[in-house]
Structure formats: C-alpha cells, structure tokens
Structure 1
C-alpha cells in the first residue's frame, strides 16, 4: 500500500548516524516524457535493530518551487522496478534543476534510517554529463541555458505550440536540439560561448567550471593555459571561443550535416 506523507515531517527529524545507500547500489532511468522515475534496483543496507514492519521506503523529488513523494511500507516492497510518476504527484519542473533521493525511515517516528545523497533527476548514465537536459516551462523557445551551483543545464520547452495551437512534445524538442544541424550550428555555439566564459571566470572556485575548462583544452589543446591570464571581455578571449565552437562543430560533423541538409533542400 502506497501512502503520502508530508516530506517536511520526515526530513526535519534526521537521526544520527544515518546509513548510506550507495550510488552503486541503485539503478534508475527517466521515461521519455520526463514524467516518471523508474527505479530498477535498490540494494538496501542492513537495518540491524529494525524489522521491515517498522520501516518505510520513500522516493522524494523536488525543485525550487515544488516537490513529489512516494512512500511504501518496506514489507510491501516486493519487487522492482518501481514506477514513480513525479509529475502526477506534484513536481512541476519550471526553470530550476530537479533532484531526488531514496531513503528509509522509521514509520512510528518518521526518522530517517538510511538515504542516498541528493541526486540530479536525470538518467543514471547522464549523471556525469556536463550539460544535462530538462523539460522547462519556457513557451515557444526551444531551449535556454541556465546555471546553478552544479553548473549549466539546458531547459527544453515542454509547452511549445504551433500557430494553430498544436503542441510539439518535449521529446521532439530534444530530438531537434540534438540532431538538427541548423540548430546545432546556430544555437549551441551561442550557449557554449556563455558556458566557457562563465567557466573561465569561475575556473579556480568550482568543480563544474574546472570540468568545462578541461573539456575546452581537449577540444583545442592548450586553449586555456594555467599560465595565461585572459580578460573575458577582450578580442583574444572571443577568438578562443570561436576556436572552441568551431572545434566542437567539426568534432561532431555538424558542419557536414548542415551542408548536406542545405544541398538536399536546394538552398544553393
């Protein structure tokens, strides 16, 4: 039997020590519509003094202005996968990066017994992505880049509509974003410029910025030397940004794909 509790009534009663649910012990994915978390595996830690009848299992997802939760008594947790429709349960992804966690709690006191860390709400194999994608409430903009403490992320429109009012669904927008050469050669260089600039400005302070600087030096060897101090507003830095986006386009053959599309469409 699934139950709903106020997440706040549990999260504020945090006992110590709390056992860790390791990242290696869980596996999950997000459905294509980005409405449901599918928990495929979760190896639970030894509960020691607790018996299953005393323990609840929970998944909690949240972003800046909304949250969703699923609670199941542990003795009713008989098999995986578990399907958690976070959208129907209240999570509204608007313009902030969503997260989730899995935890166990004592039913009588609501105290947390074991928990994962707070994880970014993306497919597990995308956790290490430098630029994760999420559906966003951004109307007829296909996508926009946002930043938080974890670094940049892309919001892709979930409510795009044609002039006649027909919706263009999120997954279609993602396909356009990733595969349409006009978009990859036009939109991405602009956002890459913004990301590399912010990364350079924060390269000594944040993990995400260091990761992007490393990526830049892989695209163009020695692009951002530690010995060189650049002014992000001068022409030399702008030239480096052009080098980087050109290298990125060539690496992914987007220039060839764009040329083929233009020729195929008789745009000469």
Structure 2
C-alpha cells in the first residue's frame, strides 16, 4: 500500500503499532475465552467508527479467525471474546493480535504484536516460559510433546482427563501435576526433554539463531554447562567437536536431566512420596 506525501513522492504505507503497554489481556486455562481488560483511551479515540473497525485476529497452524468488536466504550470493558465459537481445538500454538482496519478496503491501519495465548504468561514478557501448554483431547494421556516445523515445541495437556472413578481432573490440577508432582515429573520429563533436544539439535541444526532455540540453548547452558559456546554475535551453538559425536544428544540430555531433577528436588520429593513422608 502507498500514500502520497506533500512533496509528491510516494512512500510505503506504515501501519501504526499498538504497543503492549497500551492494553491488558488475559486468557482462561482452557483457552476458550480471551479477555481484553482495557485499551488506552488514546487508541480507542483514534478509531473512526464510521469507516474503521476494531477486532481481534486469532490464529493457529490451520485456522485464522476475526472477532469484530462492535462496542468498545469504557463501559464495555472488560471485553470477553468467546474463542470456542470458532476454534474447537487449537493446532499448534495459538496467537492473537489487536487490529484496527478500514471497513471498505480491509486495509490494516494499526495492530499490536502477536501474542501467544497462554494463561501462564499474561502480559509480562519476563514470564515467557520455554514451553507452552496447550489444552487438547488426549484420551487417557495426561500430556505429550508436540511440534510443528517452524514453531517451538509445545506441551499438549489433557483438557478432558477423567480418572477411573469417573472424576474429571481440572486443567489447573493437570498444570500443577506436570510442573510439580515428583511421580509424574520423574516419569515424564526425561523422555520429553530428549524429544525436545532432538527437535533442537537434529531438526534445527542449521537454524540455531531462532529466538525460541536461543532461549532453550541459554537454559541448557545454565543447567548443563560445557556443551555450548557463543559465536561472534553472542548466539549460542553446540561446540563443534562435541556436536560431531554420535552420542552428543544422548550425553547432553542425560547431563541436563540429572541437573534438572536435582535442581527441582524431584529425587528427594519422589523418595518422600514413596515412603509416605509429607
């Protein structure tokens, strides 16, 4: 898109950015409702209601949907978007943007950055976790690692887990289980970590500069030091002499898992649970 300047020249149309500090949002554990708690008055007052629309643009790997916001005066907030009307299950990591666009041309005039819809991160980038939890139907499984090429791996957690006695286990309980229960963590995370390391070091071995991989590598370097080194740009890569070893992934996984278990005190937690010491 182009617009004419006063000098008679043309320049590329620049979309206005809606900054993170200009609105607040949250999403429920099931990722069925997205709540926009507030948008700064300056943003709302800039919208020409006759010619422009405010919307939420949401998407995953397979689907893109627009949720138009008809009423957005101060008294309408918080605004609750029912994601379940258009998304049954998310495939891959779900994201959204706030957008303002022209009614006739559909040209996007301003937008926020893309946010991952996760109840774990809210609005603070410092809380970004290494792996996102996405609710899914998993039958009798509690959780599994999933991966789509071009995306970071994510953790599918069962949103409909029903125990043998017929009781349903809630998502908040499932999240607590996969994070903190020593029985589950010691049984599940070693295999899951090996799977993630294969994704990083085998499937993306020529693409280590990706932001999500760098976050993982910095974490790995902190927990299992001595396997990675920085290049001239400050990006972490495997030490070449180690990476060329056929056992590199197996060795670094074992080192990381051992440190991970001790760091979270899962070994002592498991012993206490087995011996009935609470």
User: What range describes the TM-score normalised by the shorter chain of this pair?
Assistant: 0.7 to 0.9
Q: Deviations over 1:77-128 (max 9, x none)?
A: 64432211211x2212244221111111233443322112332112334772
Is 2:246 aligned against 1:234?
yes
Residue-pair matches, total: 251
Q: State the Cα distance separating 1:247 from its structure 2 match.
A: 0.4
Kindly tell me: are residues 50 and 260 of structure 1, through their superposed partners in 2, closer, same or farther at Cα, counting changes over 3 Å? closer
Superposition pairs for residues 159-198 of structure 1, below 5 Å? 159-163=160-164, 165-198=166-199
Aligned partners of 2:124, 2:171: CA distance in 1, in Å? 20
Q: 2:51 aligns with which of 54, 57, 70?
A: 54
Aligned partners of 2:33, 2:109: CA distance in 1, in Å? 25
TM-score when normalising by structure 1: 0.80
Kindly tell me: are residues 196 and 264 of structure 1, through their superposed partners in 2, closer, same or farther at Cα, counting changes over 3 Å? same
Kindly tell me: are residues 182 and 120 of structure 1, through their superposed partners in 2, closer, same or farther at Cα, counting changes over 3 Å? same
Superposition pairs for residues 131-170 of structure 1, below 5 Å? 131-148=131-148, 149-163=150-164, 165-170=166-171
Is 2:195 aligned against 1:212?
no
TM-score when normalising by structure 2: 0.77
Gap runs ≥5 in structure 2: 1-11, 230-237
Q: State the Cα distance separating 1:44 from its structure 2 match.
A: 6.6
Gap runs ≥5 in structure 1: 1-14
Residue 93 of structure 1 corresponds to which residue in structure 2?
A: 89
Kindly tell me: are residues 46 and 35 of structure 1, through their superposed partners in 2, closer, same or farther at Cα, counting changes over 3 Å? closer
Q: State the Cα distance separating 1:73 from its structure 2 match.
A: 3.3
Residue 232 of structure 2 corresponds to which residue in structure 1?
A: none
Q: 2:70 aligns with which of 73, 96, 101?
A: 73
Q: Deviations over 1:2-32 (max 9, x none)?
A: xxxxxxxxxxxxx943211122323222123
Verify the 8 A CA contact 2:227 2:239 in the aligned structure 1: no
